[in-house]
Chain A
Amino acid sequence: MVESNNILSKTASAYNNSNHASSVDYSVDPQRGSVHYRSEAFKQLSEAAYGSIPPNVKKPIIGKAAGAVGRAQNFTEKHSDITLTLTYGGLVVPITLAASKAMGYMQNAGMFSSAKEMLEHNTLYVVAGLGVAYCLALGGSLLVGEVVKQELPGKLAGLKEKLDREYAALGSEKI
């Protein structure tokens, strides 16, 4: 077990006693004696993404999806310089929002005529939305990171690279 007076237990205690929206769960692998982290907040994000789809809108959206994904595929091919990775979990936030955005696009069915404009202003959301649609075109084989790539806004990309270097310097085992 994690000792009660070490860094992790003190952090968990302070965090869980603070006024926060969710809990951090620590567990110990009995074989390796190692610590695992799991943020319950992801469930809220997931629920928010699903919850943003009004039930009465769902069917009309999906009914138009077949044509829309064809256009998405063409659009994506024209923009092959776009990159998308799911390397860091922080990205779950814009990707989740993008899923909602993709729904909105599909609702209008003309989503990809305006996607270019959106792309110029906010690559992250739009491209992830395109990724969802593009994967649908592949018959629901959904590994977005393998299909489309995404550009991170400049500062985030720099921080991601910084994290890569710092993790390398830490020299810890891979999971």
Chain B
Amino acid sequence: MNKKAKRGIDTSDVWAEKLKEGIDKIIRNAEKSYDAQVTVLLRAVDSAEKKADLKKLKAARNIALTWIEYFETLRDLVKKDPNKTGAGKKASLDFINDQIKFFNILSKEIDRKVLEGKASKIRQSLE
């Protein structure tokens, strides 16, 4: 019998708590990292739009398209894994599909703004 067991401590519960804390921390770290990456992108979009910086808008659009590609690749990996079933797999695929949808909409809105900007410049040059 180990020392903790002798003291009447349920080591199973201690491990369970540590494991739960660990998973929680991993998810929080990843969440923080991902949200920060997307926030950087959205701030850049906002800033570029206010300054009518078409070059920066295009750079932001490229990042959105790469995120789409990234999540599509990840989705293929998750789908192909026969060991992944149930709620975890569904939540993962829902999350991935949501992100793809979001970046699709964002990239199209940026495209629209870039085209408007180009048209505006052409109009100005003709006036």
Contact = CB atoms under 8 A, between A and B. Distances in A.
Contacts of B27: 42, 45-46, 49, 92, 95-96
Given A89-B34, A132-B26, A125 B81 contact: yes
**Band of interface residues on B:** 35 or more
B88 A52 contact: yes
Interface of A, secondary structure class, is helix
Interface in B58-80: 59-60, 62-63, 66-67, 69-71, 73-74, 77-78
B20 interface: yes
Chain B contact residues: helix, strand, loop or mixed: helix
Contacts of A136: 15, 18-19, 22
A132 B99 CA distance: 26
Contacts of A49: 23, 27, 88
Interface of A: 2, 6-8, 10-11, 14-15, 18, 20-22, 24, 26, 34-39, 41-42, 44-52, 58-59, 62-63, 65-66, 86-97, 99-101, 103, 122, 124-125, 128, 131-132, 135-136, 139-140, 142-145, 153, 155-156, 159-160, 162-163, 166-167, 169-175
